[in-house]
Chain A
Amino acid sequence: MIPPEFEYHAPTTLSDAVSLLNELGDEAKVLAGGHSLLPMMKMRFAEPAHLIDLNKIDQLRGIREEDGLIKIGAMTVENDILDSALLQQKASLLPKAVKLIADPQVRNRGTIGGDIAHGDPANDHPAIMKAMDATFVIAGPDGERSVKAVDFFHGTYMTDMAENEILAEIHIAPLPANAGTAYVKLKRKTGDWATAAAAVVLQMDGDKVAMVRIGLTNVADMALRATDAEALLVGNTLSDEVLSKVVQAVTAICDPAEDLRGDAEYKTAMAGEMTKRAILQAAGKLGE
């Protein structure tokens, strides 16, 4: 399979990329790691007349700590997230989850920004970003603006970004040293999308939950933040009774699409189970 013809552009600065995108309009698509867009082009689901490759823009890559925030360039590849000592130490949810995304070759090309901006509810980073309460920096012709992850996703392949904007950077607050994290993903095989997955950031105060954030992957038309379930946990112990209420609150918000991974009922039940396991893992009560 060969993609349809297109004009190729490889700008070396973000501002050149934004100008090009603004000028070419909806004729153009932005190319990150290409592991969603190129297959879609091969199958003629996407036929952009222009492809703007972001891979030569060095300023969009890298992970750094600055002004009390961890800043991840949108073109940072998954394997660089996996290997980042800074993230392992201060935002361990990301490397833990990335280990479950795709395979080694794909992680050498696939980028965090591409995974987010594509708006596919099956992608893993949207739920991870919601559980990390991340902020996205978006570049457009009029400069940069910031959007919280919880406000960014609007539906399948729909995000807060306009057609002339590019996701530039992801900002997350370092987690407190006593915070636990877990990403539990049910999938049929390496490289598969989640049947259901849960991302959890959890802080305990003694045997009670002090803070928790829960993100859910692939159980609705966008990644979900399970705020009702979070409220049931805060101030309580992780008893069976509390956890079963949490599972109910999670399954109440799921609305998955039926596919070869299962019907809606099964996926919904798995979202509850993955959440329960992720909470217990993050609390150190269940092995990985």
Chain B
Amino acid sequence: MGKKLVSMNINGRKVEEAVEPRTLLIHFLREQMNLTGAHIGCETSHCGACTVDIDGKSVKSCTHLAIQCDGSDVLTVEGLAQDGVLHAVQEGFYQEHGLQCGFCTPGMLVRSYRLLQENPNPTEEEIRAGISGNLCRCTGYQNIVKAVQYAAKKLQETATA
């Protein structure tokens, strides 16, 4: 089967690439775009390590074809920091020790970023429900919840400053 041209906007950069229809978005990002932040975990849409944003919605990129992103805006963990300054969610995970081995972290960060766009002031329960599609086998989630709370507070302070 021949490759087809797709164009999309990844982290604010327009790219045009030839892909096989069967290429999954996660493989396209990691192997063709060299964006290795999003991880391949379970490959069956359970673990959330491959989470990215497509057109402002959190999606598991292991269960999405790259060709389906033609014309879309894609955000990966590499797009969170701006001009070398960590995004508030990244700072939160750093300050609150929201990771141990770090494998789930890129997915957690991108999902937390989107959760706070959708709900800037979530309760603890809403945070836990909001990241329920991202599995972490190290932290027990407690510090991840604190990291998201840290980011929510910081984003709100920045917004009102």
Query: B127-155 CB contact bits vs A (8 Å, 1 = yes)?
Result: 00110110000000000000000000000
Which residue of B20, B63, B130 is within 8 Å of A104 (Cβ)?
Answer: B130
Asked whether any CB of chain B lies closer than 8 Å to the CB of A157, the reply is no
* Contact count band on A: 20 to 34
A5 touches B63 (CB 8 A): no
User: Complex Cα distance A53/B66, Å?
Assistant: 13
B133 touches A6 (CB 8 A): no
User: Complex Cα distance A105/B51, Å?
Assistant: 8
| A4 cross-chain contacts in B, Cβ below 8 A | 22
| Given A103-B133, A105-B59, A190-B133, A2:B64 Cβ within 8 A | no
Closest 6 A/B residue pairs (Cβ): A103-B133, A8-B21, A190-B132, A108-B57, A105-B133, A5-B1
Asked whether any CB of chain A lies closer than 8 Å to the CB of B4, the reply is yes
Query: A1-20 CB contact bits vs B (8 Å, 1 = yes)?
Result: 11111111010000000000
Query: Which of A35, A79, A104 has its CB near the most chain B CB atoms (within 10 A)?
Result: A104
| Given A105-B51, A190-B133, A191-B133, A38:B43 Cβ within 8 A | no
Asked whether any CB of chain A lies closer than 8 Å to the CB of B45, the reply is yes
Asked whether any CB of chain A lies closer than 8 Å to the CB of B27, the reply is yes
List the A residue with the shortest CB-CB distance to B56. A108
User: Complex Cα distance A35/B129, Å?
Assistant: 20
Asked whether any CB of chain B lies closer than 8 Å to the CB of A262, the reply is no
| B11 cross-chain contacts in A, Cβ below 8 A | none
